A and B are shown apart, each in its own frame.
Chain A
Amino acid sequence: GNSVTQMEGPVTLSEEAFLTINCTYTATGYPSLFWYVQYPGEGLQLLLKATKADDKGSNKGFEATYRKETTSFHLEKGSVQVSDSAVYFCALANFGNEKLTFGTGTRLTIIP
């Protein structure tokens, strides 16, 4: 079956630091990969996605590249801000099936 393994948190960084949150997956076929973000007191929001190997998803300065050879989809940002403090979830869905399988989430805190 499908599974997603995420870097355990919490992660605390200083403002303007470089961020990497690791995500690896196990799936049959060729899944689509996603990063969702949950800001304090808000619902889950799609941050970025990639639907095939070597695709790069990007949004709000965040990037992640679909690496089929390493079954990974690591989230990166070059310079984090306090407003990036949130919980980040890596997820996948198989082609033709919108059912999402989520990782356990990584809580990120950015300190000024």
Chain B
Amino acid sequence: EAGVAQSPRYKIIEKRQSVAFWCNPISGHATLYWYQQILGQGPKLLIQFQNNGVVDDSQLPKDRFSAERLKGVDSTLKIQPAKLEDSAVYLCASSLDDGAYNEQFFGPGTRLTVL
């Protein structure tokens, strides 16, 4: 079974530029998550989708971050404009949605460096 795919794996941009990350979850997984992992910290949830609807985006900095999950499959996370403090690894995860607690499967992440 293919895992969660993310691209690109690495991205270097200058502050005030825009950047987008892509995630393809495991087939059949209804729930998709984006996390931000700053160096030396644990992952922090940015946004959670169930199918193509947003469940939780309370920690998403909406003035610069946006995310969408069209058709309830792939998702993109965008930062516009980027700040130095956005340098982090952006993790995508997915899980089934069958009513019980479901394990989240993580992708390899995209490492963003903002100069």
Contacts and interface: CB of A to CB of B under 8 A. Distances in A.
Contact of A98 (B43, B104, B107, B109): B104
B43 A100 contact: yes
Contact of A100 (B4, B45, B108): B45
Q: Is the interface of B mostly helix, strand, loop or mixed?
A: loop
A28 B108 CA distance: 31
A43 B106 contact: yes
Interface in B1-34: 3-4, 31
B3 to A, nearest CB: 8
B44 A102 contact: yes
B74 to A, nearest CB: 17
A91 B104 CA distance: 12
Interface residues of A, number: 22
Interface in A27-44: 32, 41-44
B104 A46 contact: yes
Interface string A79-93: 000000000010101
Given A46-B104, A51-B101, A98 B44 contact: no
A102 B43 contact: yes
B95 interface: yes
Interface centre among B4, B42, B48, B106 (most CB of A within 10 A): B42
Contacts of B41: 104-105
Contact of B91 (A44, A51, A93): A44
